[in-house]
Chain A
Amino acid sequence: MRVTNRMLSNTFMSDMNLNLNNMKRKQEQLNTGKEFSRPSDNPFKAARSMQMYGEIYANEQYNTNIQHTVNWLDTTDSALSHLGDSLSRIRELMVSAGNGAYGEDELKSIQDEISEKVNEISQILNTSFDGKYIFGGTQGDKRPTSVDSDGKLIVGDTGDSLKVEISSGVVIDYSINAEEAVNFKNAVIKDDKGYLVKFDANGNTLRVNENSNLIDSTGAEITYNGGPISVDRNGNLEDKDGNPLKIKSDGTLTKVGGTVINDAAGTPIKIENKLTTSKEYSDDNLGSLLSDIIKDLGPGGDVSRVINEDLGRLDNAISNLLSVRSKVGTFQNRMEGVQNVNRDQNMNLKEILSYNEDIDWVEKSMELGMVQTVYMASLQTASKILPPALLDYVR
C-alpha cells in the first residue's frame, strides 16, 4: 500500500491523542481516588453509588433519631425510678401509721411528710429533658402535673405520646405520658348478685359489704357475738372484739380451735363460701389516692382505711408503675439492638460503596506507569521516523 509522510504524521497524531486521553483518565482517577468522576465514565457504578449514598444519609439520620430516643428513655427511666422510691416511702409511712401506739401527733407528722411527698411526686413528673417535659407528650411545653390549693396532685392534658422513626417505615411511640404513671386500676371482685367478694386465708370466697363485714345473700350483715364479722386485707376473720374466727370448707363458722359456733338458736352458722365471681376493674389515680390517705390520717379520718383499703390501692399503683418501668426497659433494650443494627448496616453500606467507587492505589499506579511507558515510546518512535526524508540525502 502506498504510504506518504503525511500518513505517518497523521497516525502519530491520532495515537498520541489516544495516549494523552488515557493519561488524563489515569490522572483524574489518581487525583480523586475514585474510579469515576461523572456518570458517563461508568453509568452503572455511578447509579449504584448515588443510591448507596442516599441510603447512608438516611441511615445516619435514623441513627440520630435513635440516639435522641435512647437519651430520652434514660431520663424517663431515672425519673420513674425516683417516683418508685417516693411511693415506697409512702407505703412505709402508711404501714407505720397502723401502729396502734401512734397518737395524734405522730399521725400528724406522717400526714405532713406524705403531703410533702405529693409535691415531690409532682416535681418528678414535671422532669424536663432537652427543653420538653418528658411526661408531657404532645403538650410537652406545658407542665404535666401540678398541686392544687387542697394539696391534691392534678394531671393536666398531656396529649398523645411522641413518635420517632427509627428505620425506614418503622415508627414507634417513645414517650410515657404522666397519666400512664398516675392512673391505675383496682381489681374488684364481685359475685353474680353484684356484692363485693373477698378471699379469706383458706381460699373461701366470702360476700362482704363496703365495710369489709360478712353479709348474706340479701346483703344483711351476718352477726355473731353482737357484732359483724370483718375480713381484713390478709383474709383473717375477726369478730367485733377482735377474736379470730375461721370458716371450714363446708361453710360452718368456727373458732380458731375448731369449735363450731352456733347462732342464737343453736344451729351452726353457715356461710356461703363458694361463690361464682367475676373481676371488675375500677379506675383510680394517685392524686385521689394520696388525698384520701392524707384525709384518713387527719382528725375525723379513718386510720384503719389507711392500712387496709388505701394500702391495697397503693399496692396497685406501685405495680402499675412497675409495669410502666418494664415497658420503658423493654424499649431501652430494643433501642440498643436497633442502634447496633443501624451501625452495622452503615458499615456494610460504606464498605460496598468503597468497593464500588474507590480505586486500588497499587493497581492504578501500575496502570499509570504503563501508560507513561507507552507515551514515552511513541514520542521516541516518532522522533526517529518522522524527520528523515529523501531530500536530506540527495546532492
Chain B
Amino acid sequence: MSGLFGTMQTAKLGMFAQQSALNVTSHNISNVNTPGYSRQHATLATARPITLAGPGQIGTGVNVVSITRTRDTFLDYQIRRTSGELANALANEKYLSQIEGIYNEPSDTALGKLLSEYYDAWQTLSLNPEKLEARQVVVQTAKQLTDAMNQKYKQLEETQNNLETEKVQAVDDINNLLDQINDLNDQIKKVSLMGNNPNDLLDSRDLLLDELSSKFGIDVTSTDLNGIKLNAEGLDIDLIHDKASDPIYHVKYDEKTKKYKFVEIDEKGEEKPGTEKDFSPKNGTVGGLLELDGKVQENIDQLNKLAKTIALSTNAIHSDGGDNRNFFAVKNPDGTIIDKDGSDLNSGKELNAGNITINDDLLEDPMLVNTGVDSTSGATDGKRALAIAQLRNLAFIIDDETDGVNNDTTLKEFKDKNGYGEISEGITTFKNNKNGAKTEGYYNGIINKIGIETQAAQRDVKNYQDTMMMHLGRRESTSGVSMDEETINLIQFQRAYQANAKMITTVDELLDVVVNGLKR
C-alpha cells in the first residue's frame, strides 16, 4: 500500500503501537506493588515493508510483536531453593525456641533449682530426722520437683501435638496449591497454543510455585507451550497433569506412621487405593516438621530418663529402710497412686516424667519417711537420709544404649546396672560409675543441648534470610517496576502518540488538498 493512505496507515499503526505500549506502561504502574509481578514491555518491530519498483523497500510502520515479561528463570530456581531452606530453618527455630522456653533456664524458679533444693532437703533431714518439720520439707520439696516435671512433660507433649496439627494442616495447603497450579497450567497452555504470551498467568503460576517451594523442595522444568514439569524432591512423579490420561496427585499424612505420602485421586477427589508413594522431603516447612519429630521426642525421652534416674536411685535406698516403701510413685490418669512397693519386680517400669509423683502415704504421714538404717536404729539416726542426699554426687549410667535408663527400665534393672550393693555404715548404696552422669550434670546437659541447637537454628534463619534478601533484591532489580522508569516511558509513548496523531492530521490536510483542492 502506498501513497497518502499508506502514510496514514503507517501513522495509524504507530498510534496503535504507542497506545499498546502505553497500555503496558499503565499495567506496569498499576501493578508496581503486586507480589510476583514481572514488568512487561511491548516489543516493537517494524512492520513488513513493501517493495516498490523504484524506491525499493518502503517501511510501513511499527507493530507490537509481543508483550513479554522480563524474568530471569535461573533466579527463580535459586530463590525456590533458598526459600525451601529458609522455611525449614524457620520451622526448626520456632519449635526449638518453644522447647527452650518450656525449660525456662537459667532461672531460680526452674527445674535446676528445685533439684538442688530436693537434695538440700535430704541433707537437712539427715541432721534432724526426729523433727516433723524437716520431714515435711523433704516431702513437699520433692512434690514441687515432681509437679514441675509433670508440667514440663505436659508442655512438651503439647508441643508434639502442635507439631502433628501443623503437619496435617500443611496437607490442605499443599493440595490447594497443586490444584491451582494445575488449573493455571491448563489455561496457560491454551493461551500459548493460540500464539499469545500469557504473561500474567505465568506470573501467577510462578508465584504459586514459589509458595510451594517453601513447603517442600521442588524441581521445575519447562516443557512446550510454556508448560512445566513439576517434581517433588526425591520422587520421580510429575505433579502436573496435562493430558486427561495423566494421574492427579495429592499429598496425604499418615498419622500412625508419621509419614507423608503422595496418592492418586480420581475426578471426584477420592483416593485410588494402592497408588501410595512414600514422600520424605528434607527441604521446606514439611521437611523441617518431619525433622523436628525426632528432636521433640528426644527431649521428651531425656526428661523421662532424668525423672527415672532421680526416682529409682532414691527409691532403691529408701525402700530398703523398711516396708519396701518407695519414695517416688506413679500417678494414674484417674489420680490413683500406684507402684509404692519397691519389692515388686516391675517397680519403676511405668514411671516417667509425666506420671512421677510422691508416695501419698508419705504426704499424709511424713513420719513414714525412712531416715535411719532401719526402724529400730533410733529416732535420731539420719544415715539413710544422708545416703540419699549423697546421691547428688554419684554418677549413674543414663544415656548408654545397652546399660542406660530406658522407658521400661525397672528398679531392679537400675540397681543391677549401677552397682547397687556397696554397704557403708549399714546402708546399701550405689557405686559411682566413672562413665556416668550425675543427675544435675545430666539436666545441665539437656539444657545446654537445646540452647546450642536453638542458637544454631537462629543463625541458620539469619543466614538464609540474608541470602533470600540478596536473591529477592536481584529479582526485583531484573523484574521489578521502577516508577521513575515507567514515568519516562509514559512521557516517551505519550509524545510518540501525539506525534503520530499529528502525522494523521498532516496527512488529512494533504488529503484535503488532493480531494478538495485538485478538482473543483
Contact = CB atoms under 8 A, between A and B. Distances in A.
Interface string A119-146: 0000000000011100011111110000
Interface string B42-74: 000000000000000000000000000000000
> Interface majority SS on B: helix, strand, loop or mixed?
helix
Contacts of A61: 119-120, 123-124
Interface stretch (B348-356, B404-412, B452-460, B502-510): B452-460
A163 B382 contact: yes
Interface string A32-47: 0000001111110011
Contacts of B105: 38-39, 46, 50
Interface in B77-98: 96-97
A139 B482 CA distance: 93
Contact of A54 (B377, B440, B451): B440
A138 B483 contact: no
22 contacts: A1-B477, A38-B100, A39-B455, A40-B450, A42-B455, A43-B451, A49-B106, A51-B444, A54-B116, A54-B444, A57-B116, A60-B120, A61-B119, A131-B130, A132-B130, A138-B383, A139-B378, A141-B380, A159-B380, A159-B381, A171-B386, A171-B390
B484 interface: yes
A57 B378 contact: no
Interface in A193-210: none
Contacts of B484: 5, 389-390
A132 B379 CA distance: 10
A173 to B, nearest CB: 10
Nearest to B121: A61
Interface in A311-370: 357
Interface string B437-475: 000110010011011101100100000010001001100
Interface in A220-267: none
B201 interface: no
Interface string B97-134: 10011000110100011001101100110111011000
| Contact-size category for A | 35 or more
B392 interface: yes
A391 B120 contact: no
A357 B100 CA distance: 18
Nearest to A47: B448
A131 B126 CA distance: 14
A53 B378 contact: no
A7 interface: yes
A11 interface: yes
A65 B377 CA distance: 22
> Interface majority SS on A: helix, strand, loop or mixed?
helix
B61 to A, nearest CB: 28
Given A39-B451, A51-B444, A391-B487, A163 B383 contact: yes
A58 interface: yes
Contacts of A60: 120
Contacts of A31: none
B447 A50 contact: yes
A137 B444 CA distance: 38
A4 B482 contact: yes
A130 B128 contact: yes
Given A38-B451, A49-B106, A54-B444, A2 B477 contact: yes
A217 interface: no
B377 to A, nearest CB: 6
B382 A162 contact: yes
B491 interface: yes
Task: Point out which of A2, A40, A51, A58 has the most chain B C-beta atoms below 10 A from its C-beta.
Answer: A40
B190 to A, nearest CB: 32
A359 B294 CA distance: 36
Contacts of A47: 444, 447-448, 451
Contacts of A390: 483-484, 487-488
B225 interface: no
Contacts of B117: 57
Nearest to A72: B127
Contacts of B450: 39-40
B485 to A, nearest CB: 8
B448 A5 contact: no
Nearest to A36: B106
A64 interface: yes
B458 A40 contact: yes
Contact of B372 (A53, A132, A138, A171): A138
B127 A53 contact: no
